[in-house]
Amino acid sequence: MDPHRSSISCHSHQSSYKRQRDDSGRSPRENKHFRTNTQHQYRSESALGQNPLSCRTLSTRRELYERDFPVYKQPVEVGCFSLDSERRFFNDSRQMRYYVEPDRNPNFNLRDGYRDRFIKRDDSVKERLDHILRWIVANKSKINPTGAAASPRALDVDFVTWRGHLTKLLTTPYETREGWLLAVTRFRGTFYISEVETEAARRERENRTERHEEMMYWGYKFEQYTCADNTHSLPDPGGVVNTNEAFCTVVQTRLADHRLLFSGEVDCRDKDPKAPAAPACYVELKTSAEICTPKQRSNFHRFKLLKWWAQSFLPGVPRVVAGFRDQEGVVVSVETFHISKISHLIKNEYNCWKPTVCMNFCCDFLSFVKRVVTEDSPRVVYLFSWDPYKDVTYSAHRDSQYCFLPHWYVEEMTRSEDSQYEPKA
Ligand code: A3P
Ligand code: MG
């Protein structure tokens, strides 16, 4: 059996379960593609047939994705942007920070400043793709060097999204705890993918314990201990940690036949001016509990390194600097992990995650999206939904709460494309 073809399933246990549930009491008319202004999840299941192109679900079973590693072109940085202490967008690198290598055993106290020198970003505010869209509007010529007239698309890419959304896709075949919802809109030939918070994630966010809230600060505090504002200065652990601030890279690459444009936050860069060009000079910073037992090492390999690898491999960030902390939030050791060596590190782990499964699943999901998302309109959102141990399903919504392309973006992209055909004065 060709595993590639069988990942899109019409006959899974999952889809028949959904069929039973959704068919109850709904008229065939309601079961057509769209539901307008709906608050409810709705899955169109009416046309489950034998033709693979009409299939409604995508399997996430690991064994279906164990084939050759797909083509993944070296990501190229096409730009960057910054978000300041009030989360305002700037089309430049003003928030770039520079890595200052710490001692191997630095004893950084990550709890310092949590009460009195911490400004936390309001994570109930959903920014969706807005910052990336702002960057696109400001840099259209960089993405379409030959101009939109050369292409039927407004943008010469297939997908626009955040790196974090792609990271979730890469790790899906191994995820056992958290599902996801991804909204997709096709606009002028490009597929925009934006996350929607699940009910479970919202509940978790609103009910975090004080300990959890504090531990979320620790990662940012580690960044403050290891980053300087410019090439000549040193880190300032006495300053304020403000999680509104961000420096984001924008990269272009290709996964098989999917041309991707995505952005991701970058913690810092090598301060040596002779360091290779971005993204190769970037450094990802992480914290993790110190490893004291073989079981802890195995869990670190199985779970942490998967997330770290996926996040940095996507934009081509070559290394992760990890601060290992004790129970009290003190960094007791620091270690560098090279992304290209992580797959060797996990080789001895029984039944461990595989990079090829991650990339092939992501690739097949993007193909699935291209097949499903047929209507090209900023007013239409296809909502892809996944829960652990289940298949990916979708529903379609017109003029709904899920719409996420802002008017200013739609107008700008429509205007600029039309203007290509206007006679020059
Ligand atoms: P750690 O990664 O050291 O835990 P990132 O590493 O992606 O640059 O994120 C920086 C920090 O933001 C994290 O540091 C962590 O403190 C916090 N953070 C990011 N995503 C989080 C999440 N899903 N849950 C909790 N904390 C998160
Ligand atoms: Mg980090």
Residues contacting 258, CB < 8 A, separation 6+ = 158, 159, 363, 366, 367, 370
Q: Where are the beta strands (DSSP E) in 298-390?
A: 319-325, 330-338, 380-386
Give pLDDT tens digits for 363-394.
999 999 999 999 999 999 999 999 999 999 99
Residue 3 pLDDT > 50, yes or no?
no
The ligand that comes nearest to the alpha carbon of residue 331 is 1
In this structure, what are the phi and psi dihedrals at residue 202, rounded to the nearest 5 degrees? Answer: -65, -45
- Mutate-to-test residue for ligand 1 from 220, 243, 248, 325, highest number of ligand atoms within 8 A of CB: 220
Distance CA 69, CA 229 (A): 38
| Helix (H/G/I), strand (E/B), else coil: 21 | helix
pLDDT of residue 115: 98
Ligand 1 atom 13, closest CA? 219
Ligand 1 atom 24, closest CA? 216
Residues contacting 414, CB < 8 A, separation 6+ = 154, 188
pLDDT of residue 21: 32
Please give the distance, rounded to the nearest whole angstrom, from the Cα atom of residue 215 to the centre of ligand 1.
9
Residues contacting 282, CB < 8 A, separation 6+ = 249, 266, 267, 268, 269, 270, 315, 317, 318
Residue 143 pLDDT > 70, yes or no?
yes
DSSP state of 302: I
pLDDT of residue 425: 38
Q: Which of the residue ranges 10-14, 176-180, 288-292, 347-351 would you say has the lowest mean pLDDT?
A: 10-14
Residue 172 pLDDT > 80, yes or no?
yes
Determine whether the shortest distance from the Cβ of 267 to ligand 1 is under 6 A: yes
Q: How confident is the model at residue 151 (pLDDT cuts 50, 70, 90)?
A: low
Q: Can you read off the two tokens belonging to residue 347?
A: 């080789």
Determine whether the shortest distance from the Cβ of 404 to ligand 1 is under 6 A: no
CB crowding 46-82: b at 16 or more within 10 Å, else e: bebeeeeeebbbbbbbbebbeeeebebeebebbbbbb
Distance CA 48, CA 301 (A): 40
Q: Can you read off the two tokens belonging to residue 304?
A: 């942490």
Ligand 1 atom 18, closest CA? 216
Give pLDDT tens digits for 157-167.
999 999 999 99
pLDDT of residue 2: 39
Determine whether the shortest distance from the Cβ of 167 to ligand 1 is under 6 A: no
The ligand that comes nearest to the alpha carbon of residue 219 is 1
Please give the distance, rounded to the nearest whole angstrom, from the Cα atom of residue 15 to the centre of ligand 2.
38
Give pLDDT tens digits for 57-112.
999 999 999 999 999 999 999 999 999 999 999 999 999 999 999 999 999 999 99
CA of 374: how far to CAs of 17, 133, 190, in Å?
26, 22, 11
Ligand 1 atom 19, closest CA? 216
Determine whether the shortest distance from the Cβ of 201 to ligand 1 is under 6 A: no
Determine whether the shortest distance from the Cβ of 286 to ligand 1 is under 6 A: yes
Please give the distance, rounded to the nearest whole angstrom, from the Cα atom of residue 287 to the centre of ligand 2.
8
Instruction: Give me the chain's average pLDDT, please.
Output: 88
Share of the chain above pLDDT 90, in %: 81
The ligand that comes nearest to the alpha carbon of residue 311 is 1
pLDDT of residue 424: 43
Residue 327 pLDDT > 90, yes or no?
yes
Residues contacting 201, CB < 8 A, separation 6+ = 178
Residues contacting 137, CB < 8 A, separation 6+ = 408, 409, 412, 413
Q: Which of the residue ranges 11-15, 280-284, 394-398 would you say has the lowest mean pLDDT?
A: 11-15
Torsion angle of C-alpha atoms 304, 307, 313, 319, degrees rounded to 10: -30
Distance CA 389, CA 60 (A): 8
Q: Can you read off the two tokens belonging to residue 156?
A: 């010469």
**Of 244, 237, 266, which Cα lies nearest the Cα of 114?**
237
pLDDT of residue 416: 67
The ligand that comes nearest to the alpha carbon of residue 205 is 1
- Pairing relation of β-strands 241-242 and 118-119? parallel
Query: Per-domain residue ranges for the chain?
Result: 58-419
The ligand that comes nearest to the alpha carbon of residue 220 is 1
Residue 147 pLDDT > 70, yes or no?
no
In this structure, what are the phi and psi dihedrals at residue 270, rounded to the nearest 5 degrees? Answer: -60, 135
Please give the distance, rounded to the nearest whole angstrom, from the Cα atom of residue 357 to the centre of ligand 2.
24
- Mean pLDDT confidence for 266-289: 98
- Mutate-to-test residue for ligand 1 from 286, 288, 309, highest number of ligand atoms within 8 A of CB: 286
pTM: 0.89
pLDDT of residue 25: 32
CA of 196: how far to CAs of 99, 172, 213, 373, in Å?
33, 16, 22, 17
pLDDT of residue 380: 98
Q: Can you read off the two tokens belonging to residue 234?
A: 């040193």
The number of angstroms, rounded, from the C-alpha of 46 to the middle of its chain's C-alpha atoms is 31
pLDDT of residue 210: 97
Asked if 184 and 382 count as a contact pair (C-beta separation under 8 A), the reply is: yes
Determine whether the shortest distance from the Cβ of 287 to ligand 1 is under 6 A: yes
pLDDT of residue 142: 80
